[in-house]
Amino acid sequence: MVSKKAKIVNEQGMHMRPATDMAKLAGGFESSVKLVYNGTPYDAKSVMFLMAACLKFGSEFEVVCEGPDEEAALKAVTEYIEAGLGD
């Protein structure tokens, strides 16, 4: 298992388009990919879970990946978040 702290840096937060893009990105990995926010894990491979997390500008959370390609999954997902979710 690997993890890294992350923060939403785009003003719109996690809305439908970046949630869809992140779910597709995370779904390309065998490893589980979770965003842990306020103690609750949200499956990053699910648009509905990502929307349910209500991640807004400035939200701080942890990206947790576990599985055979966990390092690559963590790198890809955190880079996407740090780049502003494509906005």
31: closest CA among 82, 85, 72, 61? 72
Q: Is 43 a catalytic residue?
A: no
Question: Tell me, what DSSP letter sits at residue 38?
Answer: T
Catalytic residue among 4, 10, 15, 36: 15
Cβ pair 66, 1 in contact under 8 A: yes
Active site residues: 15
